[in-house]
Chains A and B, each alone.
Chain A
Amino acid sequence: MTNTYEPVIGLEVHVELKTNSKMFCGCPADHFGKIPNTQTCPVCLGLPGALPVPNKRAIDWCIKLGLALNCTIPKESKFDRKNYFYPDLAKGYQISQYDKPLCVNGWMQINERKIRIRRVHQEEDTGKLQHTIVNNERLTLVDFNRCGVPLVEIVTDPDFHTIDEVDQYVKKLQRIIRYLDISNADMEKGSMRLEPSISVRPVGIVALPNYRVELKNINSFRFVRKAIEYEINRQSEMLDKKETIVQQTRGWNESKNVTLPQREKEEAHDYRYFPEPDIPPMQFTDEFVGSIRKQIPELPDEKKQRLMEKYTVSEGTAEILTQSIPLADYFEQMVAMSQISATVLANALVNQSVDIQHVRPEEFLDSINKKQEEKHVDSGLVMIAIETVLTSNLKAVEDYKKGKTTVLMYLVGMVKRELKGKGDATIIEQELKKRLV
């Protein structure tokens, strides 16, 4: 029955920036795997009297990401306080942005559609709770190393209607962020976190549903798909049964493969946002925004298009080659150094997983050349091998002639075995076909 419904999905993505220092103090921002509470100071611990001073580089990077996502950069922006209590929130409020984010009204092209990006704003990460047992006592400990790490939030409109669109958006966003070199955007390590909001409506209805279910605790691409799929099915079944779906926050439970309710709407927070009085409002000139725009490298879509046009590689290959700037550069360096056609090089690079950090392009080219030499077999030898195979596989030859063309690949394999693995499969296939007419 689910096919009578259409999902409506919006996405909030949080990305930790890899600046040297935290958002509002001088502590190192790289917190992953560090000894708990070794990267803290009065500011990120929220000690009485300590004050935040914004990290200029983080703000520059947030704007850079906004520009890469086709956002407008308003001339004025400010920080706000988001007030709520949680033991990992040192100050009792998070410094975030409310009504004047750094970047607004962007979009990302996904297939034939533009996914609207409502805003990209700057905030700070919280600490981390560790539920543990110390001396037989169940305790919750707080690690403040992550507290105050620069966090960028990217919010889309509810423009996704398929899981594939969400998947493509997230992967492309990750690629853009890595191109800008502003974050590792690693979901497993938590430097990129997703929160989809999902509702479903009967196909043909245009209005947005009057509820949405927010999903948390998703830490891999695989789980994004699974969690959304589960949620669409759950909600569709409820609609089939004429049940009312409540607005709530649910968490993905990866051991049970289900989403479970965390918070109802009635418990929703009133964050009591107000302008952060410790940080003056920010103003940006056109010159400044222009200077940030200049720092943006060729982005994945442009690069992909260029590789396809310039080197006539297929879209699929170009997609893989543009996974990262270093890989695309590697490919272009190989092309520049070699006589071999770009398509062959591209396929070689894509099919053989080369460790591009340790194998230099010229080394890899050498190995390709060598393999091509190894593969090469005298055409006379090929013909002899074909004759041998055909005479000892009469049944197969008969089958082929009766129209069972699938045996052709079997015969190719036999010839290759005769040649001890050498020889080009395409050429062997062509020769076989000629002989079998």
Chain B
Amino acid sequence: MTIKDAIHALQTKKFSSKELVQGCLDQIQKYDNHLHAFLTVDDKNALSGAENADSLLHQGIKKPLLGIPIALKDLFSTNQLRTTAGSKIIDNYIPPFDASVVTKLKDAGAIVIGKTNEDAWGHGSSGENTDYEPTRNPYDTTRVPGGSSSGAAVAVAAGMSLAGTGTDTGSSVRLPAAFCNLVGIKPTYGRVSRYGILSMASSFDTIGHMTKTVYDNALLSEVTAGFDTKDATTVDVPVPSYTQALGNKVRGIRIGIPKEYFEAQGMQKEIQETIQAAMKDFESLGIQFKEISLPHTSYAMACYYILVPSEVSSNLARYDGVRFGHSRNQFGAEAKRRIMLGTHALSAGYYDAFYKKAAQVRTCIKNDFEEAFKQVDVMMMPSSPTIPFKIGEKTSDPLSMYLSDIFLCPVNIAGIPGLSVPCGFVGTLPVGIQIVGPQFSEEQLYVLADAYEKINTWYTQVPNMKAI
């Protein structure tokens, strides 16, 4: 069910918010033992919240998300509700405050149904780096759902929630969206407040969400985007009404195809074919494609895996076991790996060769995108070079795991927005296409994706829950 349909049903009294929330809880009860989407289910508060929403609905009060159940990635601080970051280090941490985005969602009437599983601290692309049980992909439970916002994606795909929030530092909203047949937004850096979201790499982290449709996604962005006095990196740029823009004309929009991405090694033939079919559909909408070049693409992953661990090593320093949480030796392997990498890259004698050099490369990559956006309005590329891979397939080889993000990380390096949209299936497995635009072009991305979704309603293909 989409949020749009649910809002209509709530307003026309087809069902109550309580019934809707109970339906989600039932779904969790039924399938989550196997799928592992949730780390904490807040059923009591969700139900009382739904009752409250029903009484407001009854009074005719209007709020954009009134009575809609949502699932929050466990990096979002929630007042009096356990927040673990998918790690065991702080498995007993209960925040005394809500993240700014959580406050906004609650104020908009949304009901927090629970906190979702993830690669611990957001470190990962498959969900397997959780310190708990790895989340499974409902389209094929032997496969990964993509990460790091793995649980939030699966919660939506499996009908346990109508929306899932995530953070995207390198791919963490867009990859699970692509692997779970969802729309996933990575907004412009500074568009959405990071206050209260556990930091992974502060200069890369963005706050996004996953939904079934473009409209739903645009609706949530209208709520979460905007300047926040508690986050000095948010930008005071007005937030347009994304939902109202949907339907605007797309004919004549120029889309760039970065040649370096299509030359990338390791791209599966089936992905290439699915993407090409999608591009044909975009062409039918009157869109022009143009080949462009992002010359520094081959340095992107190296740049990312120096700068991100550097910030990670510093951001994880506060988990020292002095005031809360457990001792540092309980960090998982991936967190330890990144702490070591980052500490090394920042150390005296290595800083210039690693951190400083990577920061310079970051500027080059940013400039690549800026140059390209002089020729085209947006860019398009696959969200992933492969279909969802098997659980365990890449865990022994971190480098090949890192390469699943090869089309997504550069977008975080440049701080621009990217939207992953379902664009077909390989067998029963979903494929996503990514649309990337210049800073603050979210509206344009939604308009384009919405036009495509109108001719290809891939989101209606839900996983076969009977097989789970």
- B95 adjacent to A48 (CB under 8 Å): yes
Interface of A is mostly: loop
A83→B231 CA distance, assembly (Å): 21
- B232 adjacent to A48 (CB under 8 Å): no
**Does A87 interact with chain B (Cβ within 8 Å)?**
yes
A85→B318 CA distance, assembly (Å): 9
A52→B232 CA distance, assembly (Å): 7
Identify which of residues 78-95 in chain A touch chain B, using a CB-to-CB cut-off of 8 Å: 81, 83, 85, 87, 90-93
A92-B314, A277-B311 known; A272+B347 contact, CB < 8 A: yes
- B347 adjacent to A53 (CB under 8 Å): no
A48→B322 CA distance, assembly (Å): 14
**Does A280 interact with chain B (Cβ within 8 Å)?**
yes
- B99 adjacent to A49 (CB under 8 Å): yes
Fill in one digit per residue for A40-52: 1 if any B CB lies within 8 Å of its CB, else 0: 0010011111111
- B346 adjacent to A272 (CB under 8 Å): yes
- Picked from A49, A91, A277, the residue with its CB within 8 Å of the CB of B95 is A49
- B318 adjacent to A49 (CB under 8 Å): no
**Does A311 interact with chain B (Cβ within 8 Å)?**
no
- A42 adjacent to B97 (CB under 8 Å): yes
The interface stretch among B196-204, B246-254, B431-439 is B196-204
> Nearest Cβ distance between residue B217 and chain A, in whole angstroms?
23
A270→B317 CA distance, assembly (Å): 15
A1→B203 CA distance, assembly (Å): 58
- B317 adjacent to A49 (CB under 8 Å): no
A232→B241 CA distance, assembly (Å): 70
- A83 adjacent to B317 (CB under 8 Å): yes
- Picked from A51, A53, A90, A280, the residue with its CB within 8 Å of the CB of B318 is A90
A-B contact pairs, 8 of them (CB 8 A): A48-B318, A49-B76, A50-B196, A91-B317, A272-B343, A274-B351, A277-B311, A278-B232
Please give me the 7 A-B residue pairs with the lowest Cβ-Cβ distance, nearest first. A92-B317, A277-B203, A277-B202, A272-B346, A49-B196, A48-B198, A49-B77
Identify which of residues 263-291 in chain A touch chain B, using a CB-to-CB cut-off of 8 Å: 270, 272-274, 277-280
- 5 new A-B pairs (CB below 8 Å) besides A51-B199, A87-B322? A93-B314, A273-B346, A274-B311, A274-B314, A280-B232
A91→B202 CA distance, assembly (Å): 14
Fill in one digit per residue for B161-204: 1 if any A CB lies within 8 Å of its CB, else 0: 00000000000000000000000000000000011111101110
- A274 adjacent to B346 (CB under 8 Å): yes
- B77 adjacent to A91 (CB under 8 Å): no
A49-B197, A51-B194 known; A85+B317 contact, CB < 8 A: yes
A278→B83 CA distance, assembly (Å): 21
Across-interface contacts of B355 in A (CB, < 8 A): 274
A50→B77 CA distance, assembly (Å): 9
Q: Which of A45, A47, A81 has the most CB of B within 10 A?
A: A47
Across-interface contacts of A279 in B (CB, < 8 A): 232-233
A142→B322 CA distance, assembly (Å): 10
A49→B200 CA distance, assembly (Å): 9
Across-interface contacts of B233 in A (CB, < 8 A): 51, 277-280
- B93 adjacent to A53 (CB under 8 Å): no
Across-interface contacts of A52 in B (CB, < 8 A): 232
A85-B320, A93-B317 known; A48+B90 contact, CB < 8 A: yes
- A48 adjacent to B85 (CB under 8 Å): yes
- Picked from B196, B318, B346, the residue with its CB within 8 Å of the CB of A92 is B318
Which chain A residue lies CB-closest to B328?
A: A85
Across-interface contacts of B195 in A (CB, < 8 A): 49-51
**Does B467 interact with chain A (Cβ within 8 Å)?**
no
> Nearest Cβ distance between residue A404 and chain B, in whole angstroms?
73
> Nearest Cβ distance between residue B140 and chain A, in whole angstroms?
34
**Does B310 interact with chain A (Cβ within 8 Å)?**
yes
**Does A413 interact with chain B (Cβ within 8 Å)?**
no
- A83 adjacent to B232 (CB under 8 Å): no
A93→B316 CA distance, assembly (Å): 10
A349→B323 CA distance, assembly (Å): 54
Across-interface contacts of B322 in A (CB, < 8 A): 87, 142
- B232 adjacent to A47 (CB under 8 Å): no
A53→B195 CA distance, assembly (Å): 10
- A53 adjacent to B231 (CB under 8 Å): yes
A54→B233 CA distance, assembly (Å): 11
A42→B323 CA distance, assembly (Å): 13
Which chain B residue lies CB-closest to A46?
A: B318
Across-interface contacts of B230 in A (CB, < 8 A): 51, 53
A163→B136 CA distance, assembly (Å): 71
> Nearest Cβ distance between residue A144 and chain B, in whole angstroms?
9
Across-interface contacts of A274 in B (CB, < 8 A): 310-311, 314, 346, 351, 355
A54→B202 CA distance, assembly (Å): 16
Q: Which of A52, A91, A277 has the most CB of B within 10 A?
A: A277
A90→B318 CA distance, assembly (Å): 6
- Picked from B83, B202, B310, B348, the residue with its CB within 8 Å of the CB of A48 is B83
- B232 adjacent to A53 (CB under 8 Å): yes
Which chain B residue lies CB-closest to A43?
A: B230
A53→B230 CA distance, assembly (Å): 6
- Picked from B197, B202, B346, the residue with its CB within 8 Å of the CB of A83 is B346
Q: Which of A81, A83, A85, A274 has the most CB of B within 10 A?
A: A274
> Nearest Cβ distance between residue A88 and chain B, in whole angstroms?
9
> Nearest Cβ distance between residue A17 and chain B, in whole angstroms?
19
Fill in one digit per residue for A97-128: 1 if any B CB lies within 8 Å of its CB, else 0: 00000000000000000000000000000000
Across-interface contacts of A85 in B (CB, < 8 A): 317, 320
Across-interface contacts of A50 in B (CB, < 8 A): 97, 195-196
A53-B230, A83-B317 known; A47+B96 contact, CB < 8 A: yes
Which chain B residue lies CB-closest to A278?
A: B202
Which chain B residue lies CB-closest to A270?
A: B348
Across-interface contacts of A87 in B (CB, < 8 A): 320, 322
Identify which of residues 422-438 in chain B touch chain A, using a CB-to-CB cut-off of 8 Å: none
A49-B198, A85-B320, A87-B322 known; A272+B314 contact, CB < 8 A: yes
Identify which of residues 24-77 in chain B touch chain A, using a CB-to-CB cut-off of 8 Å: 75-77
A142→B324 CA distance, assembly (Å): 13
- Picked from B232, B313, B317, B343, the residue with its CB within 8 Å of the CB of A51 is B232
**Does B229 interact with chain A (Cβ within 8 Å)?**
yes
Across-interface contacts of B343 in A (CB, < 8 A): 272
> Nearest Cβ distance between residue B103 and chain A, in whole angstroms?
13
Fill in one digit per residue for B328-339: 1 if any A CB lies within 8 Å of its CB, else 0: 000000000000
A87→B320 CA distance, assembly (Å): 9
Across-interface contacts of A93 in B (CB, < 8 A): 314, 317
> Nearest Cβ distance between residue B339 and chain A, in whole angstroms?
11
Across-interface contacts of A53 in B (CB, < 8 A): 229-232
Across-interface contacts of B85 in A (CB, < 8 A): 48
Across-interface contacts of A46 in B (CB, < 8 A): 318
- A49 adjacent to B314 (CB under 8 Å): no
Across-interface contacts of B348 in A (CB, < 8 A): 270, 272
> Nearest Cβ distance between residue B315 and chain A, in whole angstroms?
8
